[in-house]
Amino acid sequence: MFTRMSKTLLAGGALLLLGTLIDQPRLAALGVAIVCWLMVEYTLFSLAMAGFERWVKLERTFSGPVCLPTVWRDQALTVHLSLVNRSWFSFSYLEVRDVVPPHLEIAPGQAAQRWRLGLGPRRIARWSYEATAARVGHARFPGLAVQAISPAGNLALCGGSDGL
């Protein structure tokens, strides 16, 4: 998955490689460096995305009333999310989406449905938000989704989990 910028750099590197035809070794060396750098970055990105679903796990836990998963009207509960990276790869651009059940209302001032973050190698990112039950029901969440986005903004992979 080459972006427009990487295709441009690849074409420029290939043109610089033509410097060997006009006896310009420095241009050729620059062309080789650009092409090799792009290939190494592409290979590392492909390896990271190939194992993304095995290495990165999203976990959700709750704290609040002792009767969970059933919540009563006006009961508050706290949703804790943990994103665990067990690999040696760094994921700079991740977007986590959480689908909140319709009978739970998010506390004011908390954007609880979408987060953008980076996750370093062998790291854990934790965050939480509070919700209040608008009516009696099960605190059943339809699911979570994690998207890895390339630095150029292209969607690289979408992983998700079933409801909890």
CB atoms within 10 A of CB 159: 15
Range picked from 79-83, 141-145, 154-158 for highest mean pLDDT: 79-83
Residues 6+ away with beta carbon under 8 Å from 126: 80, 81, 82, 83
Instruction: Please report, rounded to a whole number, the percentage of residues in the chain having pLDDT higher than 90.
Output: 5
Instruction: Indicate if the pLDDT at residue 133 is higher than 50.
Output: yes
What pLDDT, on a 0 to 100 scale, did the predictor assign at position 125?
92
| pLDDT, tens digit, 9 for 90 and up, residues 56-80 | 888 888 887 766 667 778 888 888 8
Whole-number Å distance between alpha carbons of 13 and 62: 52
Residue 17 CA to residue 2 CA, distance in Å, equals: 20
Give the separation between CA 147 and CA 161, rounded to whole angstroms: 12
> pLDDT digits over 6-48, tens only?
778 888 888 887 777 777 888 888 888 888 888 888 888 888 8
Cβ neighbors of 15 (< 8 A, separation 6 or more) are 31
Q: What is the pLDDT of residue 16?
A: 82
